[in-house]
Amino acid sequence: MFEDLLVLRSEEGLRRIKSVQEWMERKAATQQIILDLLGAFPASYVPLDMTVLAESDQGNYIRKKISFTSEHEDRIPSYLLVPKQLTQPRPAVVCIHQTTPQGKDEPAGISGKEELFYAHHLADRGYITIAPDLITAGERVYPGLARYNTEGFYRRHPDWSALGKIIWDVRRSVDLLCTLDEVDKTRIGCIGHSLGGHSAFFAAAFDERIKATVSNCGLYPFQGEPYPFIWSRKPRLNPNCDFIYIPKLRNFLSCDKKPPFDMHEVIALIAPRAFYNSSSIAERMGDGKVRVTRERLEEVYIRVREVYTLLGAEDKMEFYLFEDGHTFPSEAREKAYAWLDRWLKNPI
């Protein structure tokens, strides 16, 4: 059973959260617990220093290849898709790629799976979209290392985490959007599949500027996970994928201890902002094991919905389950795009 998010433990025993103020206190405490595991964000910001490297006409929008600063001596190559003939500021969406070698090229519609061209799809729907390369992908592969090998990152940041870095880079992408006159700063969203899916809700949990979030095939609770070390593996455990999300999680898993938080607690931090999750209940790993079950996803939904209900925002959370494997099927995708339209194109 997942922990009840509205129960507080104290010296007097257990009591239920009944006010928004009590939830906000619980929220702040949960964010700190997560940050203690992920590692702190940089203490200061550096100028974005955006550079436009190339432009191309894509019919309904202009695709700009850009680069901007994440932290000192670290830049984020990205695609910025801007619809033509703008007469007023538009909603914008950060589009986070899956674990794919081409990185940003896939959501931007340049190469990869068409179902995952969501930056392109949304630009065609009138959104300004940005598709950044995450570390270890696209043009951000560390010298001498394979794609999705985080060894280079941990040489520079031994006390941080790759997941913490992804959150920071998404935040910097939002910073960039907020500098653009074409963007309505009050209507910024985030979307992703797989790696991009859980990156999206982790980023939204720590950035209140993200008003609507879509995660597809990115929700895998620690509890019941058949491969718990997938979140903190050492490179030698799987030479084909050396991406280490949260090194400090190993301190718990190696001792069979329960991690200090789970995914329903992360998602609850987004409330009362809009959150849409779509997940496959037919997704199997190479050995045939099911990665996540309907029962676990439904329990996450129930627990998170209690928080949304407390905050009077029941209509701002939706779960959709499908049986098409690790993919973003057309029905789930159209529901996701309609969800973003509802909360970013209409008055909030």
Among the residue ranges 3-7, 101-105, 167-171, the one predicted with the least confidence is 3-7
Q: What is the pLDDT of residues 131-156, one digit of tens each?
A: 999 999 999 999 999 999 999 999 99
User: What is the C-alpha to C-alpha distance for residues 209 and 188, in angstroms, rounded to an integer?
Assistant: 7
Asked whether the beta carbons of 252 and 231 are under 8 A apart, the reply is: no
Residue 113 backbone class (left: φ over 0; alpha: ψ -120 to 50; beta: rest): beta
The two three-digit tokens of residue 255, written as one number = 């001792």
The type of residue at 13 is G
User: What is the C-alpha to C-alpha distance for residues 179 and 174, in angstroms, rounded to an integer?
Assistant: 9
Question: What Rg, from alpha-carbon coordinates, does the chain have?
Answer: 19
User: What is the C-alpha to C-alpha distance for residues 26 and 47, in angstroms, rounded to an integer?
Assistant: 33
Per-position DSSP letters for 235-263, written without gaps between them: GGG-TT----S-GGGHHHHTTTPPPS--H
Q: What is the pLDDT of residues 83-130, one digit of tens each?
A: 998 999 999 999 999 999 999 999 999 999 999 999 999 999 999 999
Longest CA span, the chain: 64
Residue 258: phi and psi, rounded to 5, are -70, 130
Helix (DSSP H) and strand (DSSP E) numbers for the chain: 9, 11
User: What is the C-alpha to C-alpha distance for residues 252 and 102, in angstroms, rounded to an integer?
Assistant: 33
Check: pTM over 0.85? Answer yes or no: yes
The two three-digit tokens of residue 26, written as one number = 């619980």
Q: What is the pLDDT of residues 12-51, one digit of tens each?
A: 778 899 999 999 999 999 999 999 999 999 999 999 999 9
Confidence band for 348, pLDDT divided at 50, 70 and 90? very low
Residue 344 has pLDDT above 80, yes or no: yes
Q: CB count, 10 Å around CB of 28?
A: 11
Q: What is the pLDDT of residues 184-195, one digit of tens each?
A: 999 999 999 999
User: What is the C-alpha to C-alpha distance for residues 159 and 231, in angstroms, rounded to an integer?
Assistant: 16
Mean pLDDT to the nearest integer, 224-242 = 69
Residues contacting 257, CB < 8 A, separation 6+ = 251
Start-to-end Cα distance in the chain = 34
The two three-digit tokens of residue 57, written as one number = 């006409």
User: What is the C-alpha to C-alpha distance for residues 218 and 142, in angstroms, rounded to an integer?
Assistant: 25
